[in-house]
Structure 1
Amino acid sequence: MAALSFETRSEPVRGSHRVTHAPALIAASGPGASYRFLEFFTAQIRNPHTRRAYARAAAEFFDWLAAKGVKQLAAI
């Protein structure tokens, strides 16, 4: 999975752990799921340190899921 980024850019910067787009597994569930994923990181978490930590944890989790071959959220 590409890094997460809160800045708007067409291609995320690897290793930045900022949210610009939802992971492929989330995106495959539709635009509503992608919107909610991004909204969680941008609207629900005010503290920038917590936001970065959660983004890093989410990136690692979705990388792990991809490595295990998980293709659908229902499989989690």
Structure 2
Amino acid sequence: ADKSEQERLIRESGLDWTIVRPGILIGDSRPRPTAVLDDPADWRAGVIARSAVADFLVDQIDDRRYLHKAPVLVEQ
């Protein structure tokens, strides 16, 4: 319930936002293709390297593609 309330507050804040939902975090730093699933119908469980999540977050500073979306990140 708290997570839903937090997300509601973010969505209604009037600010630019992206909520990132990583799969199961692993410590693997080897580069692997990342699947960015922004349609809830496509969401699935999976793993994702912490470094891949960090790279995605940094990319979002200049990339507005996922603005006002809540994509799931998993390895392809």
TM-score where L is the length of structure 2:
0.31
Which of structures 1 and 2 has the bigger CA Rg? 2
Higher relative helix content: 1
Between 1 and 2, higher relative CO (CA 8 Å, sep ≥ 6) is seen in 2
TM-score where L is the length of structure 1:
0.31
